[in-house]
């Protein structure tokens, strides 16, 4: 009877203890980084009333089980639940939380080391990072003046050196990046007139011929021209000839000029039994003479390009029989026109439509327009003459017209070409090596480089010296200019950057890139803004490979760096220029794209003071200085235990090592431990209120049940006492 009383008391006492633990969990539901506990109950002592007996062998009697009675329950353990709590963002830079199973290490300043996960840290009066709950010092490693952790660094308190000065550093390197436009060379105004033509002659190239109406035959290199005819027996023959700009091999099946086309017709006739003589006449026609036999329907076709064939076949055709040996021969259907030369007299020149220019003796040819912002001076004019008796003078030639234009436009004999070479300032466009943007036989006029020499409003106008005579309108219409390219200045790109000497004084260095006029080449020059003395290395050139990467960086004085004297008592500043490497595109490049090159970075800085902090996930505490420098100040370490649930609670959200926790080992976050730090956040309690409230109910019912055991036992005792009455 007494036994049940003490069993009930034991049950009530232990359920009260479980209630205490649950209430403690609930009380700390909002405590940062609190780890909840649980009570594990176990059965208490057991009294043996009778032992077990084994079966009696063959006698048929079975064995009996032991007869035991329990003497209540006791507390088996109070466990720490070390699950990760949720993280709450605070934005406070000194608030730290841990993701993983690690612990912050703290020192109480008296040699003891303790651990906690509450990272609500504060800075004390001396700049040390301490726990906000008890002022104990956060442990870690301190960096040296260069921001590196020494290999022999010892674990200790972390101090933030507010107001610490970062010494200045002289600039050693400047990096340049982005693009220089490949099309950066200066340009002059280029214009062309319409084609100036004359009757074709034997050495006029086929690729520069026109018909009598000024239509280009458009015969091009490698075209195939076919000579087709029927022989006296009515059999058709076709002979193909290939067009070349030069007849280098003497091959009769290769044609290049009007004479060789006449030779091709003769070759086709002779090789097929219809001998004849074929030649170019003074009027640009091809004449066929001394024909033996009666060939018919002779045509020349351009079998390569239909747009050309219509003009070619219309000009070179002989319909009907070719017979006889008359001196005049049998003319082709039309005339051929070719480009003029400098020696061609204006009286023999036709306009681009094959018409006479209508110039007459005494007509003045005047040049007008503007160069840059200045109009041309007064022009007395080039007086036209046909050179005949009674004319104003010798016959006016194309060369005389070109010289007059050159004089009035104040052009040099040569101007820079887009590839850096020299090219005539005025010339007649040729079929062999001319500008494909202008028609063959046109007059091309090229101004000097730059906007200051831009030619605008150009007029080449012939006046009518006698209003009763024909107006030279054909000449004037043919001389109207058509722009090929507009003038522009050579592309110049400047970019400035501040560099620093050893005292921390700033100096502005200006880099200027100027296109040299040669493809893939730029000139560069360095200067200083405030008149510092330049010692060496301030000029040179950079060339680019075909892929657009820098091929070479050359100093004019054969040095390897830019050096200037800051004129303030500091040592000379010696700067290396980093522009990239051949085959790489990380520095400056030259592509057909707008120029954007700039000085992107330099590695010097002035003196600065520590003004801000940043903390990374790997525990690095970095200082940000007023000069923009950022360097590591210290590294927070995290402790790990074999059995973190075995740690001993000592209050203030702190833990101490116990015999069963194992010794704490400190690691850098992410190195030797998977735990990392989350700055600007606090770990919350891992208490689950739903679980705790459920435990409240079960604990209460357990307590009530044990109390009922005591009251029932009391009633039984009361009955026992009353037996003696």
| Structure tokens, 303 | 């079998």
Q: pLDDT higher for 62 or 506?
A: 506
* pLDDT at 591 exceeding the cut of 50: yes
**Three-class SS state of 396:** coil
- Mean pLDDT value of segment 580-601: 94
Report how far residue 292's alpha carbon sits from residue 717's, in angstroms, rounded to the nearest whole number: 161
Indicate if the pLDDT at residue 686 is higher than 50: yes
> Torsion angle, CA of 335/336/339/341, rounded to 10 degrees?
-70
Nearest to 346 by CA among 390, 389, 378, 382: 382
- pLDDT class of 327 with cuts at 50, 70, 90: very low
Question: For 439-470, what is each residue's pLDDT tens digit?
Answer: 999 999 999 999 999 999 999 999 999 888 89
Task: Compute the distance between CA of residue 154 and CA of residue 634 in angstroms, rounded to an integer.
Answer: 11
Residue 501 to residues 431, 535, 536, 570: CA-CA distances in angstroms?
A: 62, 15, 16, 7
Contacts of 601 (CB under 8 A, 6+ apart): 174, 175
Closest CA to 613 of 238, 195, 121: 121
d(CA 402, CA 407): 9
Provide the pLDDT confidence category of residue 60 given band limits of 50, 70 and 90.
low
CA distance 192 to 710: 123
DSSP letter for each residue of 469-513 = S---HHHHHHT--EEEE--BPPPEEEEEEEEE-TT--EEEEEEEE
What are the CA-CA distances from residue 546 to residues 182, 418, 479, 522, 583 (Å)? Answer: 10, 16, 40, 14, 10
The terminus-to-terminus CA distance of the chain in angstroms comes to 20
Per-residue pLDDT band at 62 (split at 50, 70, 90): confident
Residue range 156-160: mean pLDDT, rounded: 95
Could you give the 3-state DSSP secondary structure of residue 594?
coil
Interval 208-219: pLDDT, tens: 999 999 999 999
| Long-range contacts from 533-539, C-beta under 8 angstroms, 24+ separation | 533/564, 533/565, 533/567, 534/562, 534/563, 534/564, 534/565, 535/563, 535/564, 535/565, 535/572, 536/561, 536/562, 536/563, 537/561, 537/562, 537/563, 538/562, 538/564
pLDDT per position as a tens digit, 598-632: 999 999 999 999 989 999 999 999 999 988 888 99
Average pLDDT over residues 514-525: 93
Q: How far apart are CA 634 and CA 131, in angstroms?
A: 17
Kindly tell me if the per-residue pLDDT of 246 is higher than 80.
Answer: no
Q: Above 60 in pLDDT, residue 194?
A: yes
Q: Report whether pLDDT(365) > 60.
A: yes
328 pLDDT more than 50: no
pLDDT for res 418: 81
pLDDT of residue 114: 97
What local confidence, expressed as pLDDT, does residue 332 receive?
A: 54
Rounded CA-CA distance 498/601 in Å is 9
**563: pLDDT strictly greater than 70:** yes
Could you tell me which of 593, 560, 494, 523 has the C-alpha nearest to residue 179? Answer: 593
Q: Does pLDDT of 386 surpass 80?
A: yes
Query: Given 3-state DSSP classes, what are the helix, strand and coil percentages for the chain, each rounded to the nearest 5?
Result: 15, 40, 45
Lowest mean pLDDT among 43-52, 214-223, 328-337, 372-381: 328-337
Please provide the size of the chain in residues. Answer: 725
Angle at CA 667, nearest 5°, toward 661 and 669? 115
- Summarised one tens digit per residue, pLDDT across range 257-281 is 999 999 999 999 999 999 999 999 8
pLDDT of residue 59: 62
pLDDT of residue 339: 95
Rounded to an integer, what distance in angstroms lies between the CA atom of residue 400 and that of residue 379?
Answer: 15
Is 562's pLDDT higher than 50? yes
* pLDDT at residue 677 is higher than 50: yes
What are the angstrom distances between the C-alpha of 196 and each of 235, 270, 366, 478, 480? 42, 36, 18, 8, 12
Measured distance CA(184)–CA(387) in Å, rounded = 48
pLDDT at 719: 84
pLDDT at 420: 80
- Is the pTM higher than 0.75? The answer reads no
Residues 279-299: tens digit of each pLDDT: 998 888 998 888 888 899 999
Tokens matching residue 343: 């020696």
pLDDT at residue 642 above 90? yes
Beta-sheet pairing, 236-243 with 254-255: parallel
pLDDT at 323: 76
Query: What whole-number percentage of the chain has pLDDT above 70?
Result: 97
Q: Average the pLDDT over 141-164 and give the result.
A: 91
């Amino acid at each position: 009877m007494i036994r049940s009383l003490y069993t009930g008391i034991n049950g009530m006492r232990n359920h009260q203890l479980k209630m205490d633990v649950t209430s403690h969990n609930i009380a700390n539901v909002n405590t940062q980084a609190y780890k909840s506990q649980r009570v594990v109950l176990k059965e208490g002592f057991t009294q043996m009333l009778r032992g077990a007996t084994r079966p009696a062998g063959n006698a048929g009697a079975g064995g009996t089980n032991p007869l035991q009675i329990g003497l209540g329950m006791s507390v088996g353990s109070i466990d720490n639940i070390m699950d990760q709590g949720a993280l709450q963002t605070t934005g406070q830079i000194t608030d730290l939380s841990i993701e993983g199973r690690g612990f912050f290490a703290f020192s109480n300043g008296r040699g003891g080391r303790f651990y906690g996960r509450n990272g609500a840290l504060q800075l004390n009066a001396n700049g040390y990072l301490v726990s906000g709950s008890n002022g104990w010092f956060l442990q870690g490693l301190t960096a040296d003046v260069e921001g590196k952790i020494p290999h022999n660094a010892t674990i200790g308190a972390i101090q933030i050196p507010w107001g610490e000065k970062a010494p200045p550093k002289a600039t050693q390197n400047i990096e340049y990046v982005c693009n220089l436009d490949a099309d950066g060379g200066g340009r002059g105004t280029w214009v062309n007139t319409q084609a100036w033509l004359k009757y074709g002659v034997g050495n006029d190239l086929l690729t520069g011929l026109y018909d009598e109406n000024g239509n280009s035959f458009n015969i091009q290199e490698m075209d195939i021209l076919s000579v087709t005819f029927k022989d006296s027996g009515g059999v058709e023959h076709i002979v193909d000839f290939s067009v070349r700009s030069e007849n280098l091999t003497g091959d009769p099946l290769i044609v290049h000029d009007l004479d060789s086309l006449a030779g091709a017709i003769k070759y086709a006739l002779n090789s097929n039994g219809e001998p004849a003589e074929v030649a170019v006449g003074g009027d640009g026609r091809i004449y066929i003479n001394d024909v033996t036999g009666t060939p018919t329907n002779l045509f020349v076709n351009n079998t390569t390009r239909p747009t050309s064939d219509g003009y070619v076949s219309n000009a070179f055709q002989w319909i009907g029989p070719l017979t006889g040996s008359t001196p005049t021969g049998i003319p082709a259907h039309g005339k051929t026109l070719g480009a003029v030369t400098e020696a061609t007299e204006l009286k023999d020149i036709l306009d681009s439509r094959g018409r006479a220019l209508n110039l007459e003796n005494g007509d003045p040819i005047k040049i007008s327009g503007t160069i840059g912002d200045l109009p041309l001076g007064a022009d007395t004019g080039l007086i036209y003459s046909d050179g005949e008796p009674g004319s104003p003078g010798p016959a006016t030639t194309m060369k005389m017209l070109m010289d007059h234009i050159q004089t009035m436009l104040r052009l040099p004999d040569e101007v820079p070409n887009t590839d850096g070479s020299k090219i005539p300032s005025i010339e007649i466009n040729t079929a062999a090596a001319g500008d494909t943007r202008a028609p063959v036989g046109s007059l091309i006029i090229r101004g000097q480089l730059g906007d200051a020499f831009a030619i605008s409003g150009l007029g080449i106008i012939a006046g009518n010296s006698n209003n009763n005579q024909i107006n030279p309108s054909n000449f004037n219409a043919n001389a109207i200019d058509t722009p090929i390219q507009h003038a522009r200045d050579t592309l110049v790109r400047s970019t400035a950057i501040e560099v620093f000497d050893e005292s921390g004084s700033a100096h502005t260095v200006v880099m200027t890139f100027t296109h040299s006029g040669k493809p893939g080449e730029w000139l560069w020059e360095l200067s200083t803004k405030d008149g510092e003395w330049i010692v060496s290395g301030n000029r040179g050139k950079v060339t680019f490979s075909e892929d657009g990467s820098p091929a070479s960086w050359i100093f004019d004085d054969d040095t390897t760096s830019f050096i200037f004297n800051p004129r303030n008592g500091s040592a000379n500043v010696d700067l290396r220029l980093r522009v990239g490497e051949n085959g790489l595109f990380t520095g400056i490049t030259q592509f057909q794209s707008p120029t954007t090159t700039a000085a992107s970075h330099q590695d010097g800085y002035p003196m600065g003071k520590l003004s801000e902090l940043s903390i990374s996930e790997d525990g690095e505490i970095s200082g940000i200085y007023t000069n923009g420098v950022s360097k590591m100040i210290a590294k927070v370490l995290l402790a790990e235990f074999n059995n973190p649930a075995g740690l001993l609670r000592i209050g203030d959200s702190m833990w101490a090592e116990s015999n069963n926790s194992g010794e704490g080992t400190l690691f850098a976050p992410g190195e030797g431990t998977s735990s990392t730090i989350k700055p600007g956040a606090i770990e919350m309690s891992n208490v689950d209120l739903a679980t705790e409230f459920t435990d409240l109910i079960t604990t209460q019912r357990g307590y009530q049940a044990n109390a009922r055991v005591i009251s029932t036992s009391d009633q039984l005792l009361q009955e026992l006492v009353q037996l003696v009455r």
